[in-house]
A and B are shown apart, each in its own frame.
Chain A
Amino acid sequence: DVKVTQSSRYLVKRTGEKVFLECVQDMDHENMFWYRQDPGLGLRLIYFSYDVKMKEKGDIPEGYSVSREKKERFSLILESASTNQTSMYLCASSRTGIYGYTFGSGTRLTVV
């Protein structure tokens, strides 16, 4: 059963902390994505990567960075967590070309 695994389902962090969200896929997909999902705003793309060590900014990259050192792993980093980064974070992967995404189950992050 192919899947995208996100390391934590729920996370509570303090303002100013550096936060790491990890995502691993076992499908040998080239593309990986990080979204945040908020009520009324839907899915918003933070960063994506087409290949190892490559990254592209999405629609809302401010306050975030990413790392992709291996093909199967894509990490999202909140450099200094703030309360407005409280959200559901979804990782996804896809093959190159017009293919649907496979999503992880999400990490619900609360910043206090």
Chain B
Amino acid sequence: QKEVEQDPGPLSVPEGAIVSLNCTYSNSAFQYFMWYRQYSRKGPELLMYTYSSGNKEDGRFTAQVDKSSKYISLFIRDSQPSDSATYLCAMNDNFNKFYFGSGTKLNVKP
């Protein structure tokens, strides 16, 4: 069983839709959770960072962590074609090494 599971998609939505991206994990020691966005032929870039359970909002993006269910989500409101990318979740158990999901490919159609 992988440490982090993520649906690869692709997920295709119309412009303006609310997008929900999710990851599940097995290690209850994970406390730090991140979302990265990766455009085609580029390296991933850090999008959101949360610690422990709860919500964090940044503009159109909301990251949510439910440690009791070992489930994290990234919501994108008013999605734009420029949001089309692969989204990777990552998590850490208090050491320098992060565990990554395999990524969900999102396509926002104009």
Please list the residues of chain A having a beta carbon within 8 angstroms of any beta carbon in chain B. Answer: 4, 31, 35, 40-43, 45, 48, 50, 58, 90, 92, 94, 96-98, 100-106
Question: Residue B103 contacts which of A42, A100, A101 (CB distance < 8 angstroms)?
Answer: A42
Q: Which of B41, B49, B94, B96 has the most CB of A within 10 A?
A: B96
With A90-B44, A102-B46, A105-B43 already in contact, 19 other A-B pairs whose C-beta atoms are closer than 8 Å = A42-B100, A43-B88, A43-B100, A48-B96, A50-B96, A90-B43, A92-B43, A98-B96, A100-B34, A100-B46, A100-B49, A101-B44, A101-B46, A103-B43, A103-B45, A104-B43, A106-B41, A106-B42, A106-B43
From residue B70, how far is it (CB to closest CB) to chain A in Å? 18
Please list the residues of chain B having a beta carbon within 8 angstroms of any beta carbon in chain A. Answer: 6, 8, 32, 34, 36, 41-46, 49, 51, 88, 92, 94, 96-98, 100-103
Do A45 and B43 touch across chains, with their CB atoms under 8 A apart? Answer: no
Do A40 and B8 touch across chains, with their CB atoms under 8 A apart? Answer: yes
**Inside 8 A of A98's CB, which chain B residues have their CB?**
32, 51, 92, 94, 96
Q: How far is the CA of A103 from the CA of B36 in the complex (A)?
A: 10
Given contact pairs A50-B96, A98-B94, A101-B98, A42 touches B43 in the complex (Cβ within 8 A): no
Identify 15 residue pairs between A and B in the complex whose beta-carbon atoms are under 8 Å apart, listed by A's number.
A35-B100, A40-B8, A42-B88, A42-B102, A42-B103, A43-B44, A58-B97, A96-B96, A98-B51, A98-B92, A98-B96, A100-B36, A103-B44, A105-B41, A106-B41
From residue A70, how far is it (CB to closest CB) to chain B in Å? 19
Q: How far is the CA of A95 from the CA of B13 in the complex (A)?
A: 36
From residue A47, how far is it (CB to closest CB) to chain B in Å? 11
**Inside 8 A of A103's CB, which chain B residues have their CB?**
36, 43-45
**Inside 8 A of B100's CB, which chain A residues have their CB?**
35, 42-43
Q: Which of B44, B45, B92, B100 has the most CB of A within 10 A?
A: B44
Q: How far is the CA of A92 from the CA of B34 in the complex (A)?
A: 15
Do B42 and A48 touch across chains, with their CB atoms under 8 A apart? Answer: no
**Inside 8 A of A101's CB, which chain B residues have their CB?**
44, 46, 98
